[in-house]
Amino acid sequence: MVTVDGDSIRALAYPALTGSPRVGDRVLLNVTALRAGLGTGGYAFVVALPDRLPADGEITGHIVKSRYTPLQAMTASADEQGSEHHDLLESADSLDGMPVVVADLHSALPAILAGLYGSYGTGSGGARAAYVMTDGGALPAWFSRTVAGLREAGWLAATVTTGQSFGGDLEAVTVHSGLLAARHVLGADVAIVAQGPGNLGTGTRWGFSGVAAGEAVNAAAVLGGRPVASLRLSFADPRERHRGVSHHSLTAYGRVALATADVVLPDLPSPFGERAAADAAALGGRHRLVTVPVDGLDEALRGCPVPLSTMGRALDEDLEYFLAAAAAGRHAASLLHH
C-alpha cells in the first residue's frame, strides 16, 4: 500500500526493474490504469524509487523488450547469439507434432490444464506443459498470480515470454521461436499459447488483442505442430457479441487462422450445446470441428490449484466458458496417446 495525499492505494512494484521498496521509501507512480478504473491491472505501478535507484547490473542479454520506451528492459533471449540454447534453436524447425492449444484469454490457461491433467494424469507419467505467453495483455509474466500458482502446484513446467512480453523462465523473440524453445529446450509435450492477464477490446470485429490467437494457429501449423483451438464461449456474458461462441473466436479462427486446427466444441447439455454448435459451424469449412465430452471436467476444474475467474465471473457463474477451455485440454491429452 502507498499513501498519496492521505489516501492509501494499492501499488505494484517489480523488484527486477525497480529494486525492492521498503517502508518509508518515496516512490514514483504510474496511476493511469487506477484512474481509468480498469479491472485487470487496476493498480498503481511503481516506476522508480527516486531516492534509492537500483545499482547498474551486468547486462546478461541483448534483447530489448518494451523497446524505445523509458522503461525498456534488457533480457537474455533463448534464441539470441550467445545463449546456451542458440545452436539448438538455430537448427530447430519442427514441433514434431506437439499439440499446441491456443486460447484468446489468459483465464483459459488453468482450465485447459485442468482438462489436460484431468484426462492424462500428473506426476512422472503426466504431460509436461509449457505456457507460451504473447504480449496482447500484461507484458511482465510476473503480474500473473495464476502462473505462479500453477508452477507451484506442478501443473506448469515453465513459461516462455514472447514478443514484447518478458519475465518468463525463457525469453523468445517471436511466438515461433517461443514454441520451438518450449519443445526443444524445455522438453514440453504440450504448449498453451495465450496472452498475459488483461485483454484489449474495442467492440469491433478486428480491434481486439485476441486476434493473435489466429496467428498462433498459423505459427503452430507452419512449425509442424498440431493446433488445437480453444473456443471463447459463454452464456453468462451480458454482451451479445460474446454470448455463445464469442465473435472474437469466430474472427481469430475463421478469418485470421489460415491453417487448419482442431476446433474443440464441448458437448454441453441442451440448449447450450446446440447454440455452440450452430455458432461454430461457420468454422467447419477450414477447421476440424471436434466434439469433446465434458463428463468429469467439472470435477477437474474444481480441483484446480488456482482460482478460476474470467471477466470477474467465477467457475459457477460462467461454467460453460471453463468447460470449453477444459475440453480443449482434454482433446490435447487425447492427441498425446496417438
Q: What is residue 237's predicted lDDT score, i.e. its pLDDT?
A: 85
Angle at 72 between CA 201 and CA 171, to 5 degrees: 80
Which parts of the chain fold into alpha helices (H)? 15-18, 32-36, 86-91, 108-120, 145-153, 175-184, 212-222, 247-251, 272-280, 297-302, 319-336
Q: Average pLDDT for residues 6-33, to the nearest whole number?
A: 89
Alpha-carbon distance 30 to 41, whole Å?
12
pLDDT at 122 over 70: no
Give whole-number Cα distances, 13 to 2, 22, 35, in Å. 11, 11, 17
Among the listed residues 231, 247, 229, 230, the one whose alpha carbon sits nearest the alpha carbon of residue 239: 247
Which residues 6+ apart lie within 8 Å of 261 measured at CB? 102, 217, 220, 221, 227, 228, 229, 253, 287, 288
Query: Quick one: pLDDT band at residue 183, thresholds 50, 70, 90?
Result: very high
pLDDT at 27 over 90: yes
pLDDT at 121 over 60: no
Query: Quick one: pLDDT band at residue 242, thresholds 50, 70, 90?
Result: confident
Q: What is residue 243's predicted lDDT score, i.e. its pLDDT?
A: 87
Among the listed residues 154, 134, 301, the one whose alpha carbon sits nearest the alpha carbon of residue 214: 134
Q: Is 287 exposed, middle or buried (0-12, 13-18, 19+ CB in 10 A)?
A: buried
Q: Are the CB atoms for 210 and 256 separated by under 8 Å? A: no
Query: Quick one: pLDDT band at residue 324, thresholds 50, 70, 90?
Result: very high
In this structure, of 119-123, 221-225, 286-290, the range with the lowest mean pLDDT score is 119-123
Alpha-carbon distance 325 to 338, whole Å?
21
The structural domains of the chain, with segments of one domain joined by +, span 2-48, 87-336
Q: What is residue 123's predicted lDDT score, i.e. its pLDDT?
A: 35
Which residues 6+ apart lie within 8 Å of 133 measured at CB? 141, 147, 159, 160, 161, 162, 165, 168, 194, 195, 196
pLDDT at 151 over 70: yes
- The SS3 assignment for 80 reads coil
In this structure, of 29-33, 113-117, 175-179, 261-265, the range with the lowest mean pLDDT score is 29-33
Q: Average pLDDT for residues 96-103, to the nearest whole number?
A: 98
Q: What is the pLDDT of residues 192-228, one digit of tens each?
A: 999 999 988 888 888 888 899 999 999 999 999 999 9
pLDDT at 124 over 60: no
- The CATH class that applies to domain 87-336 reads alpha beta
Residue with the bigger pLDDT between 52 and 178: it is 178
The helix, strand and coil proportions of the chain, stated in percent and rounded to the nearest 5, come to 35, 20, 45
Among the listed residues 237, 230, 23, the one whose alpha carbon sits nearest the alpha carbon of residue 108: 230
Amino acid symbol at 14: Y
